[in-house]
Amino acid sequence: MWSQVRSRVRLGRNAVTVAAVVVVGLIVVGRITGVLVDWLWFSSIGYIDVFWTVLSAQALLFVTVFTASAGAIWVSGFLAHRYARSLGISQAGADFSSGSREVVSELADRVASRIPWRAGIACGAALLGLAIAAGEISSWGTALRFLHQVPFGERDPIFGKDISFYLFSLPAYVALKNWLLQVLFCCTVVAGVVYAVRGDIALEQSPRGLSPAAAAHGSALLGLFFVLKAWSYGLDRFLLLYGDNGVVVGAGYTDVHVELPVLWLLVGLATAASISSWANMRWRSYRIPAASLLLVFGSSFAFALIYPALFQRFYVKPNELQLEAPYIEHNIALTREAYGLERIAVKPFPAEQGLNLASLQANRATIDNVRLWDVQPLMDTYAQLQEIRTYYKFLSVDIDRYRLDAGYRQVMLSARELAPAMLPANAHTWVNLHLLFTHGNGVVMSPVTEKSTEGLPSLFLQDIPPVANGGPTIHEPRLYFGRGGQDYVIVKGGIPEFDYPKGTDNVYTTYSGRDGVAIGSVARRSLFAWEFDDPNILLTGYITDESRILLHRNIQDRVRTIAPFLRLDHDPYIVASDGRLFWMQDAYTTSRWFPYAQPSIGGGANYIRNAVKVVIDAYNGTVDFYVSDPADPILRTYQRIFPGLFKTLNAMPQDLQQHIRYPEDLFLIQAQLYRAYHMDAPEVFYNREDLWAFPRGLAGIDGGNAPSMPMTPYYMIMRLPGAPRAEFVLMLPMVPSQRENMIAWLAARCDPPEYGKLIVYTFPKDKLVFGPFQIEARIQQNTEISQQISLWNQMGSRVIRGHLLVVPIENSILYVSPLYLRAASGQLPELKRVIAAYGDRVVMEGTLGEALAALFKETAPVASPPRGTADVRAREALAHYDRAIERLKAGDWSGFGSELDALRPLLEALGVGRPEDQK
């Protein structure tokens, strides 16, 4: 009976062993196949050097950490085994009664004789080393940045170290310290297990205690712990520069005058504790380790926690402004440096009320590009008019500018991407999803201001294949790479790919681009079948010797796979250039280790630069990284690590350079911080005397009755005050905190050669300038507008209020907001009205031209009562003015300008002109 039980136990052990081997084998095979697939893919796109750099760094770090960790743990366990055998409790007769000694000795000998100590310790050390090394692989970037760091060129105000120390060295030291603490903990655990099994540790039986060997070993490990603790306290000195006491981000008065000396004291105490612990290897007394622990941690609690809190409360708090002022100044200066806020130029904006029809004519480029189409209504309209088939999808609407036959125009465009999930349920076959339906087709483009008589957008690009009606010509409209959740596809297979529908038939094509990994051989088909857990790749007969598999077709996944160390902007945008389609992706270098800087980015990061512009060919899948901020030290470090990855911005094709734009994510982060950090005086910053906020706005169903939301930045073409021509800018108004009147507006220039320059235009503080929410209130209080909105809502339609735009023109502010109608059961919003406001007037008309004509009709120059010849001239002037208004309503800017040109000399002859002309 017992033999059967033992055989079953052995069979069970064998089964567990086999299962463990199988599981480990599958994990290893999966890891190897993943590396092979990555190697093939990186080779196919021309970035094999990046692959080898990352893989070799990970492998070297893993091997180094594993070897050091497992070796240290094994040494600790081996020493415990060796000395416990000769100096165990069973041989420490002075500490035990003879009876207890005999029992423990017999038990220890029996247990020890049955345990393969050396093999067990080696296996335990290896497993713990693997676990530690696996956790440290993610630190490969920290290690490479430490080894290839470049100087920043500025020093911190407390320790005088170059900021590169904080960006590159300090993170590596902290990671190294944490790893050593893990290893030391594992060494202690393994040694403790060995001593406990051998009977050298007696905790549950009398007499309790440690054997001399266990006491000596523990003292040695405790000494090492105190050495690491001393180093940790030394690193904590620099970590003071990342604190936040509610007033100062970074080291404050208490940190510098109390915490810093205390940390030096703790360094000394920990060092003394380590020496005494090592000395205790000879004395083997429990009193010395206990006293050392009590001294270090008791001092830490009293001097590093309690004393600074009391000092802060009773000494610093009553004199906070005076004592913290220098450190507030450090926080302001280094936060502005970390986010590039020191580059913002400040200019006055007089906010005059001198806008008239002549001013509008002089700023036609701005008026022609006032955006009347909001993103969501336009996307709904595109979907209804241009998705063509259910398996096409517009995933986003992008805003850009193009030099077209109609001039420099701001447009909105969207890529028509393939959405295989939208295929009919019975068409979700493997062939359809991976061989037949492989790509999207074309883009839709419309100007931001124009609309048809039905209230629909005028289309510069439409249909499949794309038809240009004033937009750029596109010769290669296919999108194999886009924003959607793209699965792999196989091209150049045994069947042609679906291209686009044409009447009752379909047009087919074969991919001829550069991308793809060859998949014709049985070995590679087996590799990819295993990697994607898809046996169809191996079994299908549609794969030929010329077939290739396209991977990482989502553009952001593609960029992250190549450069995982870059943070990506949320909004890549499509560009039509030279007859082809490209995606442009802004990428950032970030860090959470910039001293004294306010954290404001996800993950606690407190430093950001838009250092890279990434261009992805929508057909070929090629990815190019262009340096947009060559001064960024983090990027220069990456250029050392990956010397072949980045190109200069001048290497980007000129036509694509015309489409780079200031990224919205970065601008929003900078604007959020600038609300407080435009105050550079510590006293003003401390009191928050001039804190700014984002304006509130109303947009949505039922005329904006939805809850108010903060305004977001928006792109527009405009001529900045004093600038010679109109340009593409990203802007956002600002209001005082807890107030609604506008106090400033922030603009980022997007067009070369002024790209990247930030300007804030500040209003006079003694003048009231209506803010967006105040204009929204006036719109809702306008009886004609509110009655019309209520009437539409009662007639089976739904009113959608568009976002209110602040449009600076010369030294004045114009407000424009679109209004859409949508049937209660429909999904096709139509642009029906335009609301415009200037000064104390608000109007609503059918077009922007009509709204501006109505808005400025009463502000036209009025001549004195004419007599004789002057009477004829006045009538002629009035006739030209009326015709100018008609041309403006019709959107005929050329005719409008001609009438104004004819009007000017008549007014001058009547003695009416601009005030500066009459001086």
Identify which has the larger pLDDT, 64 or 110: 64
Tell whether the model's pLDDT for residue 492 goes beyond 80. yes
Q: How far apart are CA 313 and CA 749, in angstroms?
A: 46
Residues for the chain: how many in total? 919
Structure-model confidence comparison of residues 28 and 17, the more confident one: 28
650 vs 840: CA distance, rounded Å: 48
Q: 510-546 pLDDT, tens per residue? A: 999 999 999 999 999 999 999 999 999 999 999 999 9
Residues 6+ apart with CB under 8 A from 856: 355, 356, 357, 360, 838
Q: What angle do CA 770, 776, 777 make, to 5 degrees?
A: 90
- Provide mean pLDDT across the span 296-312: 95
Amino acid symbol at 722: G
489, β-bridge pairs: 550
What pLDDT, on a 0 to 100 scale, did the predictor assign at position 825? Answer: 76
Question: Residue 185 has which token pair?
Answer: 């903990």
The 10s digit of each residue's pLDDT in 452-486 is 888 999 999 999 999 999 999 999 999 999 998 78
Whether the Cβ atoms of residue 719 and residue 725 lie closer than 8 Å to each other: yes
Helix axes 117-136, 48-87, angle to 10 degrees: 150
State both tokens at 247: 């007033």
Q: How far apart are CA 507 and CA 476, in angstroms?
A: 15
**β-pairing verdict for 345-348 and 758-762:** parallel
Per-residue pLDDT band at 432 (split at 50, 70, 90): very high
Helix, strand, coil content of the chain in percent (nearest 5): 50, 20, 30
Burial of 614 (0-12, 13-18, 19+ CB in 10 A): buried
- What confidence score (pLDDT) does residue 93 get? 38
Structure tokens at 220: 């040695």
Given a cut of 70, whether residue 776 has pLDDT beyond it is: yes
Of 343-347, 700-704, 881-885, the one with minimum mean pLDDT is 700-704
Q: 762 pLDDT band (50/70/90 cuts)?
A: very high
Computed over every residue of the chain, the mean pLDDT equals: 88
Residue 795's pLDDT is 75
In this model, does residue 262 exceed pLDDT 50? yes
Over range 723-746, report the average pLDDT.
Answer: 94
DSSP string, 77-120: HHHHHHHHHHH-GGG-GGGS-HHHHHHHHHHHHHHHHHS-HHHH
Closest Cα to residue 331, out of 594, 112, 582, 695? 594
Beta-ladder partners of 806: 815
What is the distance between the alpha carbons of residues 289 and 277, in angstroms, rounded to a whole number? 6
Confidence of residue 27 (pLDDT cuts 50, 70, 90): low
Q: How far apart are CA 272 and CA 634, in angstroms?
A: 39
Which residue is listed with tokens 């905790």? Answer: 203
CA 194 to chain centre: 49
pLDDT at 16 over 90: no
pLDDT at 862 over 60: no
Q: What is the pLDDT of residue 150?
A: 97
Distance between start and end Cα atoms, the chain: 121
Per-residue b or e along 663-688, where b marks 16 or more CB atoms closer than 10 Å to that residue's CB: bbbbbebbbbbbbbbbbeebeebbee
What one-character DSSP code corresponds to residue 399?
Answer: E
Instruction: Report the alpha-carbon distance of residue 712 to residue 631 in Å, rounded.
Output: 29
Taking the alpha carbons of 425, 430, 434, 438 in that order, is the dihedral positive or negative? Answer: negative
- Amino acid at residue number 234: G
Residue 486 phi/psi, 5-degree rounding, is -80, 125
Give me the residues paired with residue 729 across strands.
716, 749
pLDDT at 906: 65
Other CB atoms closer than 10 Å to residue 796's CB: what's the count?
Answer: 10
List pLDDT tens digits, range 117-145. Answer: 778 888 999 999 999 999 999 999 999 99
> In the predicted model, is pLDDT for residue 682 greater than 90?
yes
Q: Which residues of 465-488 are buried (b: 16+ CB within 10 A; e: fewer)?
A: ebeeebbbebebbbbbbbbbebeb
* Helices of type H across 622-719: 633-641, 654-657, 664-677, 682-687, 701-704
Domain boundaries, the chain: 211-331, 340-369+661-849, 370-553, 567-659, 860-919
Place of tokens 């052995």: 10
Q: Is residue 863 scored above 80 in pLDDT?
A: no
* Percentage of the residues of the chain whose pLDDT score is greater than 90: 68
The pLDDT assigned to 18 comes to 62
Q: Return the HEC string of 892-915.
A: CHHHHHHHHHHHHHHHHHCCCCCH
Question: Distance from CA of residue 722 to its chain's centroid?
Answer: 34
Confidence of residue 114 (pLDDT cuts 50, 70, 90): low
pLDDT at 20: 53
Closest CA to 877 of 867, 889, 863: 863
- The pLDDT assigned to 105 comes to 52
Share of the chain above pLDDT 70, in %: 86
DSSP letter, residue 153: S
Report the 3 state secondary structure along 757-785: CEEEEECCCCCCCCCHHHHHHHHHHCHHH
What is the bridge-based pairing of β-strands 812-823 and 797-801? antiparallel
The Cβ of residue 717 has, within 10 Å, a number of other Cβ atoms equal to 23
pLDDT in tens, 355-369: 888 888 889 999 999
Distance of alpha carbon 816 from alpha carbon 244, whole angstroms: 42
Angle between helices 212-239 and 48-87 (to 10 degrees): 150
pLDDT of residue 270: 97
pLDDT of 406: 85
Residue type, 757: K
CA pseudo-torsion sign 255, 257, 259, 264: positive
**CA separation, residue 663 to residues 47, 609, 611, 656, 809 (Å):** 26, 11, 11, 15, 23
Phi, psi for residue 409 in degrees, rounded to 5: -120, 140
pLDDT band at 112 (very low <50, low <70, confident <90, very high): low
Radius of gyration for the chain, computed over Cα atoms and rounded to the nearest angstrom? 36
3-state secondary structure of 512: coil
In one letter, which amino acid is 810? E
The DSSP result for 577-610, as a single string, is: ETTEEEEEEEEEEEES--TTPPP-BGGGB-EEEE
Tokens matching residue 663: 């990224």
Residue 86: pLDDT band by 50, 70, 90 thresholds?
A: very low
Q: How many CB atoms lie within 10 A of CB 347?
A: 13
Can you give the pLDDT at residue 385? 93
Q: Highest-confidence range of 80-94, 131-145, 496-510, by mean pLDDT?
A: 131-145
Spacing of C-alpha 738 from chain mean position: 29
Q: What is the pLDDT of residue 518?
A: 96
Tokens linked to 549: 């598999």
Task: Report CA-CA distances (Å) from 674 to 337, 610, 668, 871.
Answer: 12, 17, 10, 56
> 657 — phi, psi (to 5°)?
-60, -25
pLDDT digits (tens, 9 = 90+) for 585-638: 999 999 999 999 999 988 899 999 999 999 999 999 999 999 999 999 999 999
Residues 6+ apart with CB under 8 A from 651: 626
Residue with tokens 């077009």: 847
Q: Which of 5-19, 217-231, 663-677, 773-787 has the lowest mean pLDDT?
A: 5-19
